[in-house]
Structure 1
Amino acid sequence: MSVRATARIVAEHDGLPVLESDGPLALRRTRAGGPYTRVTVVGAMSAPLGGDRLAIEAHVREGARLHVDSAAATVALPGRTPGAADYDISLDVGEGAELRWLPEQLISARGSELRMHTRAVLAATARLVLREEQILGRHGEETGTLTTRLTVRRAGRPLLDQELALGPGAPGGWDGGAVLGGHRAVGQLLVVDPGFDDKPPEPRRLGETAVLTPLAGPALLVTAVAPDALRLRGLLDTALGDLAGG
């Protein structure tokens, strides 16, 4: 039997008025350093499976600072119900608010089919740090089919809309030199910061398999590929550390 579940987070400057878990999506308030309220997503059961419809909604209201991570990687698995699983993430960040969305990796296991869509709506003075990492197959395993889309709107205008399709059934060339080049881990780090209006980032390579690209707005996108999850995380962590230091 497929599962339909939606978990919700509402963060205000003085706390979490809403923290609702549902089905396999368990949310826990965890200890955080600095000015952030921290929430950790803890998987309560195996999910997403074929046919599941899962969603997380996070609303960061004016002036609030929220850090969301996860306790472990999310593994997309085949299920008894035929068809793809859907995993939708909706992020809404208000004026003067900040969201750090830093989950663990998404692993596409053999035989699975997952459609994942992350939507972010940002106020003009909102800040966002968002990391996504996709790993194609567990160790020594072929990948499943994975389609991910990331769409971001800022101050009512489009900022970013990109889609990536990987695995069996994806358009030809997904594993070729123009996309993964034989690698099995791909990720992106999106940083939206009004401070970039005064000092926009410069495009540059970050090692052999990562690049920093300024967007048409106060934002940048780091895109990286790597042979495995560990080296992908290292690339993205280094990029985030360099940006924080700069």
Structure 2
Amino acid sequence: MLREEQILGRSGEPPGQVATRLTVRRGGRTLLDQAAEHGPGEPGWDGPAVLAHHRAIRQPLVAAPDFEIKPPEVQPFGDVPENGRAALTPLAGPVAPGIAVAPDGLRLRHLFDTAQIILGAGVGKS
């Protein structure tokens, strides 16, 4: 399990800018190549299709050999959008990236902990 977490600005302060990129290869084959840029000056970063009013982001990546035989299903998490949303989105190969967004770090961690419980002890455990 790999996870990256960004908190965009302190409470009540404007956010800064962040650019991330994650490339995952296995046996010379690219399984995931994902880039994101957030913060003032980045088009649409705070619109409804990206972060909206959320300022905390977690990008977990779960890899397991068993996923080649039986990949996990696409799974959304978070019943109350104001508290954050998350999704696990499996890809071809033994990898399942996810994304979680929430208004702050505390709610982000709560959302992620809930997702780990739902997924079970083996998947998403760090």
- CA distance in structure 2 between the partners assigned to 1:233 and 1:224 by the alignment: 9
Q: State the shift of 1:215 in Å.
A: 1.0
Measure the CA separation in 2 of the matches of 1:152 and 1:198: 19
Unaligned runs of 5+ in 1: 1-128
Instruction: Calculate the TM-score normalised by the size of structure 1.
Output: 0.45
Cα separation, 1, equivalents of 2:53 and 2:36: 15
Q: Secondary structure at the match of 1:244?
A: coil
Which shows bigger deviation, 161-170 or 173-182?
161-170
Partner of residue 231, structure 1? 107
Cross-structure match for 1:154:
26
Which one of 135, 140, 144 corresponds to residue 16 of structure 2? 144
Aligned to 1:59: none
C-alpha distance in 1 between matches for 2:88 and 2:3: 14
Contact 1:166 1:174 in 2 (8 A): yes
Q: Greater helix percent: which structure?
A: 2
More strand by share: 1
Say if 1:220 and 1:182 are closer, same or farther in 2 by CA, change over 3 A.
Answer: same
Shift in Å at residue 137 of structure 1? 0.2
CA–CA distance in structure 2, aligned partners of residues 164 and 239 of structure 1: 23
Q: Determine the structure 1 residue equivalent to 2:121.
A: 244
Partner of 1:178: 49
Superposition RMSD in Å: 1.5
Whether 1:190 aligns to 2:61 is yes
- Structure 2 CA distance for partners of 1:232 and 1:143, relative to 1, 3 Å: same
Corresponding residue for residue 131 of structure 1: 3
CA distance in 2, matches of 1:159, 1:190: 11
Q: How does 1:74-85 map to 2 (within 5 A)?
A: none
Task: Give 5+ residue unaligned stretches, structure 2.
Answer: 80-84
* Alignment partner, residue 78 of structure 2: 207
When residues 243 and 157 of structure 1 are mapped into structure 2, their CA distance, relative to the original with a 3 A threshold, is: farther
Please tell me whether Structure 1 or Structure 2 has the larger radius of gyration of its CA atoms. Answer: 1
Q: Which has the higher contact order (CA 8 A, sep 6+)?
A: 2
- Structure 1 residue runs of 4+, over 3 Å off? none
Return the offset for 1:238: 2.7
